[in-house]
Each structure stands twice: as structure tokens, then as C-alpha cells.
Amino acid sequence: MSKIVMFDMDGTLLDLSFDDFIWNECLPERHAKIHQLPLSESKEKLYQFYQSHRHTLVWYSSTYWTKTVGVDVLKLQQEFQSKIQARSGCIELLQQLKEQGYICWLVTNADRASLRLKLDNIAIEHFFDVIISSEQVGYAKEDINFWQELQRLHPFNPDETIFIDDTATVLKTAEKFGIQHLFNISQPSSLKDIKQHQDLEFKTLDRLTELLSILNEIDRKDNDVKIA
């Protein structure tokens, strides 16, 4: 059976600089303008919201944020959609995996509307057999229920699965669920510093295409075990 490679979207396949820009720059500016507040006050307010909702399903919901902060967040993303970019090596990696017979899934916490917007801008949709948003699943990837529900919707064998995500909390939950091969990303945003490997708990990819040789190595070991 072909192995499944599951990919996170933002910060893994796509450059997180777009999301950082939207959430940390545009939204505070728009919020300040709409509510006629000093920018520092908007930033403080939003920061508090962010802190209290991090790693929950609503954190990823444009609808929720639009209601909560009074700024149409989806519209904001549409306005700046020309800034959406793939990370270096993204297309090359997906192409190679496809050629080598791997099955690729896109497993994202982005809500359906943001997912659609990203896929309309970066032509990667055709590489995936399964594309799923945590909004459809009903739990964020940080919640073990996400993985149980995903497996119910799309059966897969965690022992044979490879999963790449730039969020350690997500990887930890995937590990708890039993996914065997987990990888972190050292530079989710091209505009931010590279994270140091010693600070990261999981094997970490500096370049996306590094995954190809790692997978070949995993395959080789699996075959050795079978022969032995």
C-alpha cells in the first residue's frame, strides 16, 4: 500500500508571512481605523483575544473573528491575496512525491473560506487525494478528537503515515494519536528567523525537498525489516 504524506498548509507548504501580515499588521490597523482607537490599543486588544483563543477551533475561524473584532477578516485576506506565496520547494516536493507514488493529503486548521482562497491563489489542489479543514472535522488539529474523526472519515494507518506541520502542539497531538513519522519546519515564514533545531522537539526540515531523501531512507529501513 502506498504511504500517506499529510501536510499542514500555512507555514508548511505556504509561506506564513502572509498570515503574519494579515493578523499582526493589517488587522490591528483596520481595527484601529474602524473603532477609532490608537493603533497600540488595537494591538493590545487583539493580542489579548489571540492569547485566549490560541490552539482552539475558533482561533482559525474567519467568521468568528469578523464577529468578535468587527473587521471582515476574510475580506482583508482577499484584499491582499496577491501576497499569498508557496514556500520554496513546495511544488517540487509535491510533484516528486506524486511521481514516486506517495499519496498526499492536505490537513489544515484554516477554515474552509481561507482554505479556498489559498488554493485559488496557489495551484496545489490537484496534488492531494484528501483536502480537509478542521472546520469540517469539528476539532482543531491540536485536539486528539481531530485525528480520531479524520480517521473515521478517511481511514489511514498511523504507523505508515508521515505528517509535516510547523506547529509543535499539533505534532504532539499527532504523536499521541500514533502517527509514526513527524516533521517540524524550521522557517515557516520567510520574513522571520530560522528556528534552532535544538529548541524543537521533532525532526525538522530546513528545506521542504529534504523530505524526499528522508522518505527514501524510511522506505529502505522498512524493506530491510521485511527482508530480515
To the nearest whole angstrom, how small is the minimum distance from the Cβ of residue 133 to Mg ion? 13
Binding residue for Mg ion (CB under 5 A) from 3, 6, 10, 173? Answer: 10
Closest to Mg ion by CB, 30 or 141: 141
Strand partners, 204: 184
Contacting range for Mg ion; rule: CB under 5 A; set: 10-18, 23-31, 46-54, 116-124:
10-18
Subset of residues 135 to 174 that bind Mg ion, contact rule: CB under 5 A: 166
Total binding residues toward Mg ion, as defined by CB under 5 A: 4
| 11 interacts with Mg ion by CB under 5 A | yes
To the nearest whole angstrom, how small is the minimum distance from the Cβ of residue 145 to Mg ion? 19
Residue 47: CA count within 13 A, CB half-sphere: 7
- Strands 128-133 and 162-164 come out as unpaired
Binding residue for Mg ion (CB under 5 A) from 8, 15, 111, 142? Answer: 8
- Strands 181-185 and 203-205 come out as parallel
Helix axes 168-177, 144-153, angle to 10 degrees: 60
Length of the chain: 228
Q: Is residue 14 within 8 Å of residue 86, measured between CB atoms?
A: yes
Binding site for Mg ion (CB under 5 A): 8, 10-11, 166
